[in-house]
Structure 1
Amino acid sequence: MTENILAMNKFKILSIIAVVTVVSVLLTACGKDKRSTGWEYAPNMYEHIAYDPDQPNTNFKDGKTAQLPPAGTIPIGFVRFDYPNTKEGYERASVEVVNKYIATKQSLADGKILFEHFCSPCHGIQGQGDGLVVQHGFPAPPSYSKGNSSRGGAMKDLTDGKIYHTITYGLNAMGSYASQLAPDERWKVVLYVHQLQKL
């Protein structure tokens, strides 16, 4: 009989614990705010305290978060090309700008791949101005080995600076390739164009 009383007491205690647990869960889960996710653990992990660039910010006089960089600063990795998109800038680049790359087997191979991807649709694989775009009725660019530049002089005599300036800013129907080709890629294309000038 004593064993039955102990078993009944254990059952009552377990039942009370279960009821209290269920009631606690129901009371804490059924709050007034239906959108509440409950307690938060480390909210700074997903609720950032930094300002977004387009948010107002009282820390600055003009009230903007996105601030202009100080005058004369250059972003890391940016290479300046201080020659304007003018005839004078083109001529000055011709005299002052020299390719920093040497024509090695690898740099020429890289230049060839870049030329074929970006330049050959107009200039043709051999640089003769007979690319696919020309075959569809667009004006042909001059041949690198036989043609004349619209700025004067033979295409075979174009210098590093003139070619780089043209790739950077474009000329006539050719648009700028500054956004498609990084400065080092442009220099490799210049090396390859010099090879095409010899054909």
Structure 2
Amino acid sequence: MLAMNKNRILGATAIVIAATVVLSSCKDKRSTGWEYAPNMYEHIAYDPDQANPNFKDGKTAQVPPAGTIPVGFVKFDYPNTKEGYELAGAQVKSPLFLTSKNIEEGKVLFTSFCSPCHGQHGQGDGEVVAHGFPAPPSYSKGQSSRGGNMSDLTDGKIYHTITYGVNAMGSYASQLSPEERWKVVMYVHQLQKTL
């Protein structure tokens, strides 16, 4: 008798579950079902391109207030001119300590970003030269296009050149952070000493 009641209970339970599945699956074809964390789909914040009644001009994306500086931005107050280059050469010194770790990190950055043109040892014999492009001057024995020996370039002149570029070399300000640029400067000084 107990086994018979047990079978009836299991059978009734199976029928109820089957009926629930059938009825719930036929309800609304467009339903996505239960949502876990609906605020991920229906956020309350305004999108940047959306109209926004909270501002006078009705735009969500606002221009930053005058004189503000983005977080992490390091200002370089020397213009991209010959005068700015010379002034940076005379006034700008590396804020980083000369350590073997910084030089080693500078070498890694130099190898990735600079050696395709300047070569592994800064002699102006990178891969691009093998493909017919003009060779940049050697750090240890070449002449700068702005005047003077490449081996005499100061911290500020090298940093200015990495930041703004010169001749066929483009700016690396978007690829290298200011701290990374200073590490490359340290490594270039090491290459200036090699003959």
TM-score by length of 2: 0.83
Match of 2:166 in 1: 171
Mapped to 1, the partners of 2:86 and 2:63 lie a distance apart of 32
**Partner of residue 49 from structure 1, selected from 39, 44, 50:** 44
TM-score by length of 1: 0.81
How many residues get paired? 190
Match of 2:86 in 1: 91
Whichever residue aligns with residue 67 of structure 1, its letter is Q
Shift in Å, 1:102: 2.3
1:45-124 equivalences in 2 (<5 Å): 45-124=40-119
Mapped to 1, the partners of 2:182 and 2:36 lie a distance apart of 53
> Over residues 135-167 of structure 1, what are the superposed CA-to-partner deviations in whole Å (9 max), with x where a residue is unaligned?
211011111111111111111111101100100
Match of 1:161 in 2: 156
Cα distance change on mapping 1:44 and 1:120 into 2, 3 Å: closer
Mapped to 2, the partners of 1:171 and 1:149 lie a distance apart of 10
Cα distance change on mapping 1:18 and 1:150 into 2, 3 Å: closer
Shift in Å, 1:20: 8.8
Mapped to 1, the partners of 2:123 and 2:37 lie a distance apart of 65
Whichever residue aligns with residue 66 of structure 1, its letter is A
Match of 1:192 in 2: 187
Cα distance change on mapping 1:30 and 1:98 into 2, 3 Å: same
Mapped to 2, the partners of 1:19 and 1:129 lie a distance apart of 82
What runs of 5+ residues in structure 1 fail to find an aligned partner?
none
Mapped to 1, the partners of 2:175 and 2:37 lie a distance apart of 43
Mapped to 1, the partners of 2:142 and 2:117 lie a distance apart of 14
RMSD: 2.7
Between 170-179 and 69-78, the greater mean CA deviation after superposition:
69-78
Match of 1:88, SS state, is helix
Whether 2:97 is the aligned partner of 1:127: answer no
Identical-pair percentage? 73
Which structure's CA Rg is the greater one? 1
Mapped to 2, the partners of 1:118 and 1:23 lie a distance apart of 66
Whichever residue aligns with residue 54 of structure 2, its letter is N
Runs of 4+ with >2 A deviation: 17-31, 36-46
> Over residues 102-149 of structure 1, what are the superposed CA-to-partner deviations in whole Å (9 max), with x where a residue is unaligned?
221111111111111111111111111111111211011111111111
What runs of 5+ residues in structure 2 fail to find an aligned partner?
none
